[in-house]
Amino acid sequence: MFQNPITAAISNFLNEIGIEVAASNFDDETVLPGIKIDNGRLLVDESRLFYPGDLLHEAGHIAVKPSDERKTIHINCGNDPAEEMMSIAWSYAALVHLNIPPDIVFHQWGYKGQAQQLIHGFQNGYYIGLPMLQWLGMAADHQRAPSLGVEPFPKMIKWLRD
């Protein structure tokens, strides 16, 4: 479906976990170049996609929404700070799962100039957003994981909220 192998790998992963990704051509202005959210689906115009890792971040927003809200997301995922932090953590877990470099998601043009700080924090065990993912039962920290019988973050217990 996609020429760029990273875009293809991300797309395949997202489709496997239940977040639909489809190739599309569009001229619309979008929040992130080349990505259009349409009723919970990610439409991707690969010719306009600057940063394939942005797919993981947008997918993170979709993943942390309740299932009844996921299909209603259109154009913009909203501006809830908690969901933003969860999406950041979720996208980090996804890039680790996919074994892609962190700067693919946390690139220099995103995250209000804080991409390197986010990478450094995640690589050193400072997981912004993890407490909320844990509260939703999507991941567990190093303290709680053993009692749940799961691997700690950045492993995910489940990729979708519900």
* pLDDT in the model for residue 74: 82
Residue of 16, 54, 13, 22 whose CA lies nearest to 40: 22
- 64-100, pLDDT tens digit by residue? 999 999 988 887 787 899 999 999 999 999 999 999 9
- What percentage of the chain has pLDDT greater than the value 90? 86
Q: Is the pLDDT of residue 148 over 90?
A: yes
* pLDDT in the model for residue 105: 96
- 22-73, pLDDT tens digit by residue? 999 998 888 889 999 999 999 999 999 999 999 999 999 999 999 999 988 8
Mean pLDDT to the nearest integer, 144-148: 97
The answer to whether residues 107 and 119 touch, using CB atoms and an 8 Å cutoff, is no
- Sheet architecture: strand order including 21-23: 21-23, 41-44, 35-38
DSSP states along 104-156: HHS-TTSGGGTHHHHHHHHHTT--TTHHHHHHTTS---TTTHHHHTSPPTTS-
